[in-house]
A and B are shown apart, each in its own frame.
Chain A
């Protein structure tokens, strides 16, 4: 247990079983505190600033540390540094800042540094409609950093779920020693809802697996244990290709192959344990709507309306975006006639779905900073089912 654990438990106990009315951004921050986050470095950006605002107010109260850095490159850098010095670290940003973080996301992947990156997606490219929501970073989250890699990304669709997925994100990052992205959207980030915070001891926390002896820190097993600075291990952490000891070895094809395939495998081989989704009315469905994040809310409304009219339509809500739930989607694609994909972009996830199904995939895109309405999704379905 960390030195500050007692202070943290004592402070968080005041929230147990009480309900609050707050934004998704605020809720994701509280979820992180529950998960044991004790370090946050960030840079303000709409619609993610509220995460930093809560963290700056609350982290010192749980004997953690909040730093406002000079930019998003520095923010994720500081988080990774803090994690190697023993912290559970996170940062929060939106599209422009997320773009700036890409190089260090790759660094976190390569150095197997657990950390959490909240991206409250906003309308892009570039400054776009600065304050308005979007879901345009689905592919940036997957492939934003260079080189072969796997990534974990979660998409909450309610304020309560922001809280829960924050805890899940930290747990996954520790379990798989990898960065985890919480892909919120401005809609979920700024929406206000009632949430109930659980007692801390009812929350399952995955603690960091630390080396107990002189185990290899960068190989030897699929997910090696970590060590923290200052315990006499003389740890060598590098984003360059390295041996299992951590020492750089950039000339050997074999060393690179071994390292990068293991990093991919540790996520890919555990897909079934990582991936979460929610199924509704899929048993008898001939048609299915696949959606995620805030868009899944009007999508669910449209599905209900169509079912009220006797249509055999169901819904799959993705909670895990990456790794992509390919076997579930493949299975659905083999038995339904059409898949509809409403999302606040021009069809990023729908293209991914197409890779795994033979049935027709119909995107229901919407951009411009205003979420889909139930009517809009319903009318897109209507002529097709």
Chain B
């Protein structure tokens, strides 16, 4: 009995460490049972706990969708829950004014690559020091399972009842090509590398991007014969291929596979640093247009 109480106490302490980063009064989450959003939330809490970040040094910015609920309301810390598709430009404003904070964006595929896709590639191009974790469940989950720009060809959704005739985005590849400092893709099955990758992204300077393939058993899984979270995780386990191995495989062999791992890691000048450098330089240097052009007196 005494031993039992001890165990409980130790467990509570551990949980408490994770909950330091969460608004625990709103747990359990509002996510459907087996939803990948909860796994992403869990991995994030473990990642920040490993890094021992001060929650006060993190600003979380998010958009609209189930995945956007991962930071809001669950993260404890300053939280900006924005309009659909716009968390990255909101986060840009935050980061420019408070460059010492870790600015994290977590949102869905519909939000970040659908309606907000343009912001994503531009932020990668600028290489602004924002951490973006895109939860790709291949669907518009919150609104009940409509076609997303990530939905695979042929899949029927509530707005592609006869089967999807569009090709989906390869998001991680796109963001890597757009100029990000760090890009990786994992699934909610690969929790250990995902957690490590989150830590890498949280500590590396520049635009760091994770595409996280995640399950939506309710709005997507049902349509493809994966009624539970477990069934989706089983698929991720079986059909994921490490990027190093994928390099040796033909396009036919890669059909239907999820390529996981790090796509890119590079050193590049960071946007807010460049802005600050400019301000310091201008204190001693005269360049550009000046009001003297209009002066009358």
Using a CB–CB cutoff of 8 Å, the interface residues on chain A facing chain B are 7, 15, 18-22, 26, 30, 39, 41, 53-54, 57-58, 60-61, 63, 65, 67, 69-71, 73-75, 77-87, 89, 103-104, 107, 194, 229-230, 232-240, 247-248
Also in contact, A78 and B92, with CB within 8 A (given A73-B86, A85-B59): yes
Also in contact, A85 and B97, with CB within 8 A (given A57-B289, A236-B72): yes
Also in contact, A230 and B119, with CB within 8 A (given A80-B90, A81-B90, A104-B83): no
B295 contact set on A, CB distance < 8 A: 18-20
CA distance A87 to B291 in the complex (A): 23
Residue of A75, A77, A82, A234 near B78 (CB, 8 A) is A234
CA distance A107 to B61 in the complex (A): 14
CA distance A77 to B111 in the complex (A): 14
Q: How far is the CB of A24 from chain B (nearest CB, A)?
A: 12
Residue pair A71, B82 in contact (C-beta under 8 Å): no
The residue in chain B whose Cβ has the minimal distance to the Cβ of A58 is B291
Contact with A along B81-94 (1 / 0, CB 8 A): 11101101111111
Q: How far is the CB of B157 from chain A (nearest CB, A)?
A: 25
The residue in chain A whose Cβ has the minimal distance to the Cβ of B56 is A232
Residue pair B282, A60 in contact (C-beta under 8 Å): yes
State whether the Cβ of B155 lies closer than 8 Å to any Cβ in chain A.
Answer: no
Residue pair B93, A85 in contact (C-beta under 8 Å): yes
B95 contact set on A, CB distance < 8 A: 85
CA distance A63 to B279 in the complex (A): 6
Also in contact, A234 and B55, with CB within 8 A (given A69-B89, A74-B86, A74-B119): yes
Contact with A along B53-88 (1 / 0, CB 8 A): 001110101000000000011001111111101101
Q: How far is the CB of B20 from chain A (nearest CB, A)?
A: 12
Q: How far is the CB of B98 from chain A (nearest CB, A)?
A: 4
Contact with A along B37-61 (1 / 0, CB 8 A): 0000000000000000001110101
A19 contact set on B, CB distance < 8 A: 295-297
The residue in chain B whose Cβ has the minimal distance to the Cβ of A65 is B96
Residue pair B119, A70 in contact (C-beta under 8 Å): yes
B81 contact set on A, CB distance < 8 A: 236-240, 248
B78 contact set on A, CB distance < 8 A: 84, 229-230, 233-235
State whether the Cβ of B8 lies closer than 8 Å to any Cβ in chain A.
Answer: no
State whether the Cβ of B250 lies closer than 8 Å to any Cβ in chain A.
Answer: no
Q: How far is the CB of A102 from chain B (nearest CB, A)?
A: 11
The residue in chain A whose Cβ has the minimal distance to the Cβ of B118 is A70
| Most chain B beta carbons < 10 A, residue from A26, A73, A83 | A73
State whether the Cβ of B17 lies closer than 8 Å to any Cβ in chain A.
Answer: no
The residue in chain A whose Cβ has the minimal distance to the Cβ of B295 is A20
Also in contact, A77 and B294, with CB within 8 A (given A229-B101, A230-B59, A239-B81): no
Residue pair A57, B86 in contact (C-beta under 8 Å): no
Residue of A57, A85, A234 near B288 (CB, 8 A) is A57
CA distance A252 to B288 in the complex (A): 54
Q: How far is the CB of B63 from chain A (nearest CB, A)?
A: 10
CA distance A232 to B55 in the complex (A): 9
Residue pair A78, B89 in contact (C-beta under 8 Å): yes
The residue in chain B whose Cβ has the minimal distance to the Cβ of A103 is B83
CA distance A53 to B293 in the complex (A): 13
Residue pair B291, A81 in contact (C-beta under 8 Å): no
A73 contact set on B, CB distance < 8 A: 85-86, 89
CA distance A232 to B77 in the complex (A): 8
Using a CB–CB cutoff of 8 Å, the interface residues on chain B facing chain A are 55-57, 59, 61, 72-73, 76-83, 85-86, 88-98, 101, 118-119, 122, 275, 278-279, 282-283, 288-291, 294-297
Q: How far is the CB of B97 from chain A (nearest CB, A)?
A: 4
Interface of chain A, main secondary structure: mixed
CA distance A230 to B97 in the complex (A): 11
Residue of A22, A74, A84, A86 near B80 (CB, 8 A) is A84
A60 contact set on B, CB distance < 8 A: 275, 278-279, 282
B290 contact set on A, CB distance < 8 A: 57
A26 contact set on B, CB distance < 8 A: 294
Residue of A54, A103, A230 near B101 (CB, 8 A) is A230
Also in contact, A85 and B94, with CB within 8 A (given A20-B295, A21-B294, A230-B56): yes
Residue of B77, B91, B122, B297 near A81 (CB, 8 A) is B91
Residue pair B61, A81 in contact (C-beta under 8 Å): yes
In the assembled complex, 28 residue pairs joining A and B whose CB atoms fall closer than 8 Å, in A order, are A15-B291, A18-B296, A21-B294, A26-B294, A39-B96, A57-B289, A58-B291, A60-B279, A60-B282, A70-B89, A74-B88, A77-B89, A77-B119, A79-B93, A80-B90, A81-B82, A83-B93, A85-B93, A85-B97, A229-B78, A233-B78, A234-B55, A234-B56, A235-B78, A236-B73, A237-B80, A238-B72, A239-B81
The residue in chain B whose Cβ has the minimal distance to the Cβ of A30 is B291
CA distance A239 to B81 in the complex (A): 7
Q: How far is the CB of B91 from chain A (nearest CB, A)?
A: 6
Q: How far is the CB of A66 from chain B (nearest CB, A)?
A: 8
The residue in chain B whose Cβ has the minimal distance to the Cβ of A64 is B279
Nearest first, the 10 closest Cβ-Cβ pairs linking A and B are A81-B93, A82-B93, A85-B97, A74-B89, A77-B89, A78-B93, A81-B90, A238-B81, A229-B78, A70-B122
Residue of A22, A53, A77, A103 near B93 (CB, 8 A) is A77
B98 contact set on A, CB distance < 8 A: 85-86, 229-230
CA distance A87 to B94 in the complex (A): 9
The residue in chain A whose Cβ has the minimal distance to the Cβ of B278 is A60
B59 contact set on A, CB distance < 8 A: 85, 229-230
B85 contact set on A, CB distance < 8 A: 73
CA distance A86 to B91 in the complex (A): 13
Q: A21-B296, A74-B119, A81-B80 are in contact. List 15 more A-B contacts (CB 8 A).
A: A19-B296, A20-B294, A20-B296, A61-B279, A69-B122, A70-B89, A74-B88, A74-B122, A75-B89, A78-B92, A80-B90, A81-B61, A87-B93, A107-B82, A234-B78
Residue pair A81, B89 in contact (C-beta under 8 Å): yes
Also in contact, A237 and B92, with CB within 8 A (given A60-B282, A70-B118): no
Residue pair B118, A71 in contact (C-beta under 8 Å): yes
A7 contact set on B, CB distance < 8 A: 283
